[in-house]
Amino acid sequence: MAKEKLVKAITSMDEDFAKWYTDVVSKAELMDYSSVKGCMIIRPYGWAIWENIQKILDGMFKETGHENVSMPMFIPESLLQKEKDHVEGFAPEVAWVTHGGNDELEEKMCVRPTSETLFCDHYKNIIQSWRDLPKLYNQWCSVVRWEKTTRPFLRSREFHWQEGHTIHATAEEAQAETIQMLNIYADFAEKHLAIPVIKGVKTEKERFAGAVDTYTIEAMMHDGKALQSGTSHFFGDGFAKAFGIQFTDKENKLATPFQTSWGVSTRLIGAIIMTHGDDSGLVLPPAIAPIQLIVVPIASHKEGVTEKATEVYTRLKKVCRAKIDVSDNSPGWKFAEYEMKGVPLRLELGPRDIENNQCVLVRRDNGEKVVVSLDELETVVPEMLEKVRDGLYNKALANRTEKTYTATSLEEMVEIADNKPGFIKAMWCEDRACEEMLKEKAGVSSRCMPFEQEEISQTCVCCGKPAKKLVYWGKAY
Amino acid sequence: MAKEKLVKAITSMDEDFAKWYTDVVSKAELMDYSSVKGCMIIRPYGWAIWENIQKILDGMFKETGHENVSMPMFIPESLLQKEKDHVEGFAPEVAWVTHGGNDELEEKMCVRPTSETLFCDHYKNIIQSWRDLPKLYNQWCSVVRWEKTTRPFLRSREFHWQEGHTIHATAEEAQAETIQMLNIYADFAEKHLAIPVIKGVKTEKERFAGAVDTYTIEAMMHDGKALQSGTSHFFGDGFAKAFGIQFTDKENKLATPFQTSWGVSTRLIGAIIMTHGDDSGLVLPPAIAPIQLIVVPIASHKEGVTEKATEVYTRLKKVCRAKIDVSDNSPGWKFAEYEMKGVPLRLELGPRDIENNQCVLVRRDNGEKVVVSLDELETVVPEMLEKVRDGLYNKALANRTEKTYTATSLEEMVEIADNKPGFIKAMWCEDRACEEMLKEKAGVSSRCMPFEQEEISQTCVCCGKPAKKLVYWGKAY
């Protein structure tokens, strides 16, 4: 009964995917709406996911020589304006601080929408010689962009992210850094989040404000829409020139350094939800699940059940993030609750199981039940968690494969875009007019020019002129 | 030569303590000034100290059942105004956001100076029954207070901290939480930062805006001044009433819950510097030192030295945060550099040491040199790190004992305050007028009424009326 009630509490995915999504983020207690319009509260369960993401990524950044720093959250107007393209991109959507206490500020400041300008200002101070290069910095923080429409985790006025900012003696080194970080993002998404991604480069239209090249990982959500899940930018020496950053090179000559920036945000939580979730709620990849295994005693009023379950839980705590629920809720209610919260494995243990020295393990991703000897739990549980990860990845990959189409003419593109949500692979002449035409006629944007190029046809899907690049097109979050 | 140059680069403590402090934070590369007035950049070495502090404290919070959350960084004006005392305390020093992009906001918002109002707003949404209590929440973030004068780590317009916010069914439970968290702060300061602290309660004048009681840990800096290093507040039901937070209790009646909040900030880094530092620079307690041991090869051009040093470093990496410096700087330059950075232990290894299967370990806190067999490093190094912690603690305690005075009359108080920087223990009648008089005449503020009360005399140090409390007085940062 209770289970039914909980399950009914969320809209089904097929009925209304957007409603399903907002139901899940609320019912799984990931977030709550706040009195601050467009900003959200990330609740303990949601924040624990972010902490797990941070921990793994931070380790990957540090292994590759990056160091964390903390920059101010404010940017004086004059600083924001130093790089022309950058200010044009961001000024229309920043929050402005105009007063400190009762006094009007001499110069207004925005709350950082991103921190390139602050890092440049700092680099100018601390870099003199080639010996000071490279600087491989990162910061974990929140930033603010004054969005008109918002959705939990996907687009909010304040959001948490990490922003890496590096500076190098040569363009080649900066380029290599840009690609290295994109690869780290892709590896993280695929291995730890079980989300397959397409790696590629953005078209000029979709580039970050001020970048020479923007690289991206694009994921496909369950509904066929694209989610840009991480970006890495190569800046050339544009910012350095705008900020007057110079260094003395090994030949004792003044030179201009090259920069990069790269970031992922709490959007990744949105990606997890929309890639793996189902009509029972959240489904979490084990690597970032706050609870990896929930122990549910069955018929716990019977003698010895709670004790045995607690013993099993105590053992499993040492091999995974385990939890036990000994509340007086019914097992059915508990099943539904931890399904809603996306816990990868459930361990059921009742009197008959105890008699047989066994328990039942249930996978959240496919509902598979396995009877396991209590003696083998320490080896079986980590293996099953690995299987859940693989199951999630394969399911997501199958969804993407199924929903990836090719088009060789505009009519075909429109026909697919109107009827089959997904990625559309099509050739492009590199003319921005065609890109805009596709947006207008088919409602799709270019997601990326994938590293893995193919020649689907020889002509641009839009204008028929000779094609230069294969592009992934799609509707995006 | 190089060493001399580095050492000379900082002012001596006795000559000008304030100048010494700003020299150390810059030369040890803890921070840099930014173009954002009153805000600072925390550099990798400084941020790594904060990360170590966070990691230990976060573990202590989680062990005691606390969960991390993330609240918005903005507070709408109407929300800030709900609790009368609170808004009076903070409104004069907040930064106001008035515009989003090009549009003026309907209601201006401040950047949070502290988040009581946001937590209350959230608690009102999520608490219905006694089953929802307690909530034991914490967040790591930065807050903004529009200070007129600022000093790195001690007082800046933006600063990083953690703020715990809990809500309970009964006053007793909230009171116990307040004391528990103060004890956690004290244990952390003494054990991990090697800073002895006085635990006590603030006078009404010094209480947090909106609190019924504010508890504090007070530390004494090397120059005899006090630094408030952590506070824990009991709010009673004042905030809950102002925000209309109610819950159904076990008897099914509507009741009002009780709240607490508690915080420590990057001020702790200031406390570390001013408690343990010396004329060679920073001295870091091992628990939070980014580098606990630096390996310096001596005569590294000689065959086998760098190899052997690297071997030793590789072994020691497993038992502590070790680093090796194989740069072409001279050993003397390296000594000075890592002394400036406060690295607790230095390991010197030269050709003769290698012949004798030994090395020299040098303690940063007292310069003590010990010759150690290379076979025993894994046991000796952790022991020596523990000794450095004890040495630092004892030195700080001796400084505090030496600079703690007692006064029984106003004249005596003024005489001590004018000539002997330190804590002054004196009795007080609990009349605010006397507290203000002491500020005016002796320039001291009440630091706290310590938990460990003594009866120094029977009359108030100021007015001569019967005394009620022993108070620690002092000049403070």
* pLDDT mean by block of 10 residues, chain B; 477 residues: 54 96 97 95 98 98 98 96 88 94 94 97 97 98 95 97 98 98 98 98 95 98 98 98 97 98 98 98 98 96 95 98 96 97 98 97 97 98 98 98 98 97 98 97 98 96 97 97
Contact yes or no for B109 and A32 at CB 8 A: no
Q: Using only the alpha carbons of chain A, give its radius of gyration.
A: 25
Looking at residue A1, what is its pLDDT? Answer: 37
Looking at residue A86, what is its pLDDT? Answer: 85
Distance CA A166, CA A155 (A): 26
> Which two tokens mark B139?
């967040």
Alpha helices in A132-266 (DSSP H): 171-187, 238-243
Contact yes or no for A73 and B146 at CB 8 A: no
Q: Is B473 on the interface with A (CB under 8 A)?
A: no
The contacts of residue B419 (CB under 8 Å, 6+ apart) are none
Question: Which residues of chain A make contact with B42, given a CB cutoff of 8 A?
Answer: 69-70
Low-confidence ranges of chain A (pLDDT < 70): 1-8
Nearest C-alpha in A relative to B122: A34
Phi–psi pair at B327, nearest 5 degrees: -70, 170
Q: How far B68 CA lies from chain A's nearest CA (Å)? A: 6
Looking at residue B84, what is its pLDDT? Answer: 86
User: Is the separation of the CB atoms in B247 and B130 below 8 Å?
Assistant: yes
Contact yes or no for B34 and A70 at CB 8 A: no
Looking at residue B8, what is its pLDDT? Answer: 53
Q: What is the pLDDT of residues B269-324, one digit of tens each?
A: 999 999 999 999 999 999 999 999 999 999 989 999 999 999 999 999 999 999 99
Task: Give me the residues of A, 77-96, that contact B with CB < 8 A.
Answer: 79, 91-96
Q: What is the pLDDT of residues A199-210, one digit of tens each?
A: 999 999 999 999
Sheet strands (E) in A364-443: 369-373, 404-406, 423-428
Q: Which of B29, B41, B93 to mutate to test the interface with A (most CBs of A within 10 A)?
A: B41
pTM over 0.90: yes
Looking at residue A8, what is its pLDDT? Answer: 52
Contact yes or no for B32 and A109 at CB 8 A: no
Q: Is B449 on the interface with A (CB under 8 A)?
A: no
Task: Give me the residues of B, 96-155, that contact A with CB < 8 A.
Answer: 96-102, 109, 111, 118, 121-122, 125-126, 137, 141-142, 144, 146
In terms of Cα–Cα distance, which of A264, A51, A263, A60 is closest to A164? Answer: A263
Task: Give the containing element (helix H, strand E) for A165.
Answer: strand A158-168
Looking at residue B53, what is its pLDDT? Answer: 98
Q: How far is CA B8 from CA A304, B115, B286, in A?
A: 72, 44, 26
Interface predicted TM-score (ipTM) of this complex, two decimals: 0.95
Contact yes or no for B34 and A111 at CB 8 A: no
Looking at residue B4, what is its pLDDT? Answer: 44
